[in-house]
Amino acid sequence: VFQSHEEDDRKVRRREKNRVAAQRSRKKQTQKADKLHEEYESLEQENTSLRREIGKLTDEMKHLSEVLKDHEKICPLLHCTMNFVTVPRPDALASCLPR
């Protein structure tokens, strides 16, 4: 009888210890899932922001390409018959610079 009572106590303690360990494990899994979800949300926001920036930079590149193309049509340095000279004429260069 004495041994049986002692075994019952051990079983109760073991079950309690196991219950606490399982609770701790579930809590840890939940915290890990929450952390991953937060990281996912943060990366989604960063991705959206970077896509917006790519769009803006693409628009700027298109605009600057058009400006350059328009400028090339009237640039005296590109139309100069002496454009192989290493030092461009100051007056020709000045007309290409923005005012």
**DSSP readout, 54-98?**
HHHHHHHHHHHHHHHHHHHHH-HHHH-TTTTSSS--HHHHHHHS-
Q: Please give the pLDDT value at position 98.
A: 59
Q: Which residue has the tokens 């019952």?
A: 8
**What is the rounded distance in angstroms from the CA atom of residue 63 to the CA atom of residue 70?**
11
Please report, for the chain, the start and end positions of each structural domain, with discontinuous segments joined by +: 1-79
pLDDT of the chain, 99 residues: tens digit per residue: 557 888 999 999 999 999 999 999 999 999 999 999 999 999 999 999 999 999 999 999 999 999 999 999 999 888 766 555 555 555 655 666 555
pTM: 0.57
